[in-house]
Structure 1
Amino acid sequence: MTSSILTNASAMTALRVLNSINKDLATTQNRISTGLKVSSAKDNASFWAVSSVMKSDVNSFKAIGDNLSLAENSLSVARTGAEQITKLIDTIKSKTTAAQEGSIDKGALQADIDAALDQISEITKSANFNGVKLLETTSKVRLLSSIGRDGSNVDASYISFTSQDLTFAPRGGLESIAGLSVLDRGDSLVESKTDGVPEYNMGALNSQTFFMDANKFTFDTDNTDNDFTLTYSTGTATSDTSTSAFADVSDGNDLASQLAGSADVVNATWDNTEGLTVKLANGYDFSALSVATGAGITAQVDDSVVYTAKAGQQVTFNYVDEEGVNRTLTHTLQNNIVSSDDGALALVDELNGNEDFADLFRISFDNGEFKISAKDRETDVELKDWSGPMFTTPGDVVTFAPSSYNLDTDNTDNDFVLTYRDLNGSLQTSAVADVDATALGTTATALAGTNFIKNASWDSTNGLTMALEAGYEFVSMQPTAAATGEGVTFASEPTFEGMSIVERNEMSFQDQPLRLGEEITLNYTVNGTQKEVVLRVTGQDTDTGARLDDQSNPNRIELALDAREVTHASTTGSKIVEEIVAALQGGNLPSSFGLSNDSASAPSFGTNLYYTNNNNTITFETAGTGIDSLDVTGLPITDYDQLLDNLEEAMQVATDAAAALGSAQGRIEIQKDFIMELTDNLEEGIGTLVDANMNEESARLQALQVQQQLGIQSLSIANQAPQALLSLFQ
């Protein structure tokens, strides 16, 4: 080898080798530090390009997987909600079935049902995905489930499912059970269980008999200072009062004796313990009892507490039960009843608090008058009359059918004696003479002109009907002996007996829509003839008031209530009443049905019933003569079969919804798992392309580091060669 001082070939070779080693070492160190054998396009253009596309796909698949996971979780909530709704519907169904048992507390069942319905509403609001309400609407939901490549084109794949509507809204999946109620249908339509039940007006608190405790009296030792004045009511007006004076009373017994001697008193007694008891004559009511005052007079009387009935006395109610058996309910007063509104209210509380009474009746005291009715629409009792010291006894109503009497063709032979009890309970008679068989109404007019008969009618078709004034009792009507001798006969018992009392039937409708096909039935009697007016909710654009029956029954009629007016969700009670009135006034109701709301034709004996309406309330009222009467208004009944059918339908809807959501959740779960596995495979493929083999790179690093050290030494040796050449010249 030629030595030269100008060119060190060995050093140049050693340097070139060392540079190559350093370059390889840098590459290895970069791979170790980055973990990549292809970190940029210059490392391996084709691998880098392929891996970059694959990395993009991986990122897309991860986003798709995240979205699918979110959708799966949302569907899981929705599916669970639908399953829970199914269980709640099943619970409602079981309670609806239980409600058909007569003794069950429907109110408690309804509270549970309402709670379940509210819970269903809350569940439907909880399931949402990406702004879509999964249980409140029916809409198509499309999810990106995968992407594929065809050359430079990207193809997207989707999973679609349908959200479910399990709401109670119109056309919602559970619309059929919206507001489901196991309460009597009538109870949900009207405000009170006594709406539609005839109510009898019993009149004001009766103070004809009154009691005053002995300690309320102080008598002066000078009899001439004991001058008492009794004030009593003789009419309905406040000013209708009279007075009676009782002078020089020696003591309580003398006061009772003087009172009993008055024409305005039936009887009076005194007891040193119980005090004064007085029964006024002619139906008069106690107003006040006072004593003269003045200088030196010690006589006193305190009439601030006067009783109209005392504990131990009895009140009775005669009625006909659901089997048609005549029965009497007797109640023994537990408390003294004061002669005032407070006493009336205390009596109401006592009676309504009595189990036997409350099982049958309901009594109230409004605007100064007692009113009584059956306790509700389901209580099938017919009240006949009542009695008690604090009640005004209703006047009797009697009817004798034409078949119950026989009249002579000679009017002068048709003479009768009418026997009755007056307000004092005394038997009285009244002559009914020269009855004209061809003009019976003339005799009826004469009877109605007496002071004890409120009204009367007599004709050859309906017979004789008499309605006595309050407090008067019919005893008999018999032909005279002479009339009997001419062959005139009269039944010993009337064909019909009732009360001469005002009956009212009130219905206040709630803001609750009627349903197609439902009926409201008015049942009543005019002049002894039973009438029935059926108001039916009718579709097919049938106007309110249209006649629906075949007109074969002159005492029964069916009229339409336009479904377009009364079945929508915003229907108010006032609208229902408005449509009822429109039907009754529509021109298709014959006058023979005797329903009128013309104030000029207020209720009159044997002719008509009067009705009024105010907002959501309609009220029917009789003339109070007993010949016309009201029966329970027929309200729509609860159709349990339909309720159960609706629940079965709702159960199927909820079950199908849960199945559909579960199926969608399953498909999304499968796709999500596939995307995750695909992503893993792609990442593994990317790793194969661009990841460094750390074991290989580590071994290479050690080898290169050794080579680098050897290269440095070689270069160092090569650089020392010129120095050896210089030594030749020394």
Structure 2
Amino acid sequence: MSSILTNDSASIALMTLQGVNSSIADVQKEIATGKRVSGADDNAAVWAIAKTMQADVEGYKKVSDSLALGSATLSVARQGAETITDLLTEMKGKIVSAQGENVDRAKIQTDVDALREQIGAVVDSAQFNGLNLLKNQDSASGSGAVNVLGFLQRDASGVRGVDIAVAKHDLGTAQSTISATGGTYDASAATTTLNATQTGTVSGAGITVSAGMGFNLQIFGTDGDDSSFSQADMRTSALAAQTQAEMASSEISYVARDGDTMNDVMTGLKAAYDRYAADNGIATSTLSMTVSGNNMSIASSVTTGSDTIAVTLASLSSDAGNTIGGGLASLADIDVSTGSGATTALDQIEGLLQTSVNAAASFGSDEKRLDTQTAFNSKLTSAMQSGIGTLVDADMEEASARLQALQVQQQLSIQALSIANSAPQTLLGLFR
């Protein structure tokens, strides 16, 4: 049945044309933007994933800036530590020269003093953007390390930045001090007495170390007739119970830095004792110390049942106002103006050299780690950008082919609509 009120053929042709036009508009949008999904209305799920990944990519650009700053700071610190190692090596050469009998030790000491001053200048200048990794004398918690933003981590709880901790290594020459008053003083935090067994252990287990906390080793020998050792040489305090004032003036002391463990404390005390023993002519057979973990093993081959040596670890809390010293503070003790001083200095310089070498090696390892992380982040960012493109970018070859096909469909739809619209005209012939 034909009707002039309802033209089903025209309606169908019109709907077809509208659909084709809509498809053409979508393809033209893809071609214009280069994206298959350019908004949430195109594909909400894919668009949300892509936007999240794009935000991560932008975040990684800031991470790269952080890593670049951290790497530059480490590079300055490493070069400073390497320079200090070279200066200490030169100083060692001077000290070796002072071992001879017919040398001008006064002039050599002048050279040693100049090198020590130069080391101090290097430490002061080895900073980048105000941060100096060669200084660690702040007692504030966390001041012994610097956090560098290394990467982003996304999990079920969300996204967060993950830091890479870079430890400071103090190579300063400032002296540490222990307060003679105030704080909480423990004269016998750990102790052992060498007798006929000739061995003992000073245990640091259970002692919590905090920055600015002071420690010292008290030595108290008992040999009334000086038959096994000189009693006067083996006493660092007037009485068996050391006072805080005596601790403050002790040569065998150490003030903890932020990040130090009990092993660091024990190692520092052993180094101080080694210097003390060399200065006072105490042979290793009379008293020697070795560190293992949190413990210090004490040994003597001269003690007996009656001739004893007590070694006691004392501690003083950080609130006493102790001053943290530099890692190369014992440079001030190097004195080659005498033969005995030159001999002692040769032992001391080895430990100082190792300190600077360890610092340079640590900075180098950390710098390499940051460089590796930077390279990985770059690859990760490229992979994420490629993934985003796979999700939202338009296939331009496919879009071109689809547009050509749709344009043909559009022309045919227009012709079909024209034919459908002309059908009612044939009804006029029935009324002629």
Q: TM-score, normalised by structure 1?
A: 0.33
Q: Does 1:148 align with 2:147?
A: no
Corresponding residue of 2:408: 706
The structure showing larger relative contact order (alpha-carbon pairs under 8 Å, at least 6 residues apart) is 2
Instruction: Find out whether 1:683 has 2:385 as its counterpart.
Output: yes
1:41 aligns with 40
Give the one of 339, 356, 370 matched to 1:668. 370
What is the deviation of 1:664? 1.9
Identical counterparts, % of pairs? 44
The verdict on how the C-alpha distance between 1:724 and 1:92 changes in structure 2, with shifts beyond 3 A counting, is: farther
Structure 2 residue 142 is the aligned partner of structure 1 residue 160: no
5+ long unaligned stretches in structure 1: 173-537, 543-561, 568-635
Q: CA RMSD in A?
A: 4.0
How far does residue 163 in structure 1 lie from its aligned partner after superposition? 0.8
Helix, strand or coil for the counterpart of 1:699? helix
**Equivalents in 1 of 2:409, 2:345: separation in Å?**
93
Distance 2:111 2:399 in 1: 74
Give the distance between the partners of 2:431 and 2:402, measured in 1 at CA.
45
CA 1:74–1:24: 2 relative to 1, 3 Å: same
The reply to whether residue 28 of structure 1 matches residue 33 of structure 2 is no
**Residues 409-443 of structure 1: CA deviation (Å, up to 9, x unaligned):** xxxxxxxxxxxxxxxxxxxxxxxxxxxxxxxxxxx
Pick the structure with greater CA Rg: 1
CA apart distance, 1:134: 0.8
Q: Which letter maps to 2:350?
A: E
- The 2-side partners of 1:129 and 1:701 are apart by 58
Specify the SS of the correspondent of 1:711: helix
Q: Match of 1:640, as an amino acid?
A: A
Go from structure 1 to structure 2 and tell me whether the alpha carbon gap of 1:131 and 1:24 turns closer, same or farther (over 3 Å shift).
farther
Instruction: Determine helix, strand or coil for the equivalent of 2:136.
Output: coil
CA distance in 2, matches of 1:699, 1:116: 78
Where does residue 399 of structure 2 map in the other structure?
697
Kindly tell me: are residues 143 and 6 of structure 1, through their superposed partners in 2, closer, same or farther at Cα, counting changes over 3 Å?
same
Assess if the C-alpha contact under 8 Å between 1:539 and 1:563 holds in 2: no
What is the CA distance between 1:40 and its match in structure 2? Answer: 2.4
The structural deviation recorded for 1:660 is 1.4
Q: 1:6: which partner in 2?
A: 5
- 1:297-316: per-residue Cα shift (whole Å, max 9, x none)? xxxxxxxxxxxxxxxxxxxx
1:103, 1:727 → 2: CA distance?
A: 139
**Letter aligned with residue 168 of structure 2:** S
Distance (Å, rounded) in 1 between the aligned partners of 2:4 and 2:45: 49
Structure 1 pair 715–102 and aligned structure 2 pair: CA distance change class (3 A): farther
Residue 681 of structure 1 aligns to which amino acid in structure 2? A
Q: Among residues 150, 164, 175, which one is paired with 1:170 in the alignment?
A: 175
For residues 382-531 of structure 1, what are the structure 2 equivalents within 5 Å? none
Q: Which amino acid aligns with 1:66?
A: D
Contact 2:133/2:168 (<8 A) preserved = yes
**CA displacement, residues 28-56 of structure 1 (integer Å, 9 cap, x when unaligned):** 22222323222222222222233333333
Deviation at 1:100, TM superposition (A): 5.0
**Code of the aligned partner of 2:133:** L
Measure how far apart 1:105 and its partner are.
6.8
Residue of structure 2 equivalent to 1:15: 14
Counterparts of 1:335-414 in structure 2, within 5 Å, are none
Deviation, 1:649, is 1.7
Greater fraction strand: 1
Aligned residues: 279
- State the distance in 2 between where 1:667 and 1:661 align: 10
- Post-superposition shift, 1:137? 1.4
Q: Which residue of 2 aligns with 1:135?
A: 134
* Contact preservation (8 Å) 1:135, 1:164: yes
The alpha-carbon distance between structure 1 residues 110 and 641, as it changes in their structure 2 partners (threshold 3 A), is closer
Return the letter of the residue paired with 1:18. L
The structural deviation recorded for 1:86 is: 0.9
- For the residues of structure 2 that align with 1:170 and 1:661, how far apart are their CA atoms? 24
- Residue type of the alignment partner of 1:678: L
Query: What's the secondary structure of 2:174's corresponding residue?
Result: coil
3-state SS, counterpart of residue 148 of structure 2: strand
Deviations 1:574-599 (A, max 9, x none): xxxxxxxxxxxxxxxxxxxxxxxxxx
Contact 1:541 1:564 (8 Å CA) reproduced: no
* Cα distance in 2 for residues equivalent to 1:710 and 1:116: 93
Amino acid at match of 1:672: T
CA drift of 1:67 comes to 1.7
Give 2:351's aligned residue.
649
Check conservation: 1:75, 1:665, Cα contact below 8 A. yes
Q: CA deviation at 1:149?
A: 3.7
| Counterparts in 2 of 1:654 and 1:9: CA distance versus 1, 3 Å | same
Could you tell me which amino acid in structure 1 is paired with residue 134 of structure 2?
Answer: L
Alpha carbons of 1:564 and 1:21: their partners in 2 closer, same or farther (altered >3 Å)? Answer: closer
User: More helix by proportion, 1 or 2?
Assistant: 2
CA distance in 2, matches of 1:673, 1:651: 33
Quickly say closer, same or farther: Cα 1:727–1:167, change in 2 above 3 A. Answer: farther
Single out whichever of 137-146 and 37-46 deviates more from structure 2.
Answer: 137-146
The secondary structure found in structure 1 opposite 2:41 is coil
What secondary structure, in the 3-state scheme, does the structure 2 residue paired with 1:148 have?
Answer: strand
Correspondence 1:13-92 to 2 at 5 A: 13-92=12-91
Change over 3 Å in CA distance of 1:711–1:564 after alignment to 2: closer
Alpha-carbon shift at residue 75 of structure 1 (Å): 1.4
Partner of 1:198: none
What is the CA-CA distance between 1:654 and the residue it aligns to?
0.3
C-alpha separation between the residues in 2 aligned to 1:59 and 1:704?
Answer: 38
Report the alpha carbon displacement of residue 7 of structure 1 after superposing the two structures with TM: 3.8
State the SS of the aligned residue for 1:133: coil
- CA distance in structure 2 between the partners assigned to 1:111 and 1:29 by the alignment: 83
Shift of 1:60: 3.1
Question: What is the DSSP-based 3-state SS (H/G/I as helix, E as strand, rest coil) of the residue aligned with 1:169?
Answer: coil
Q: Using a 3 Å threshold, how does the CA distance of structure 1 residues 724 and 121 change in structure 2: closer, same or farther?
A: farther
Residue 191 of structure 2 corresponds to which residue in structure 1? Answer: none
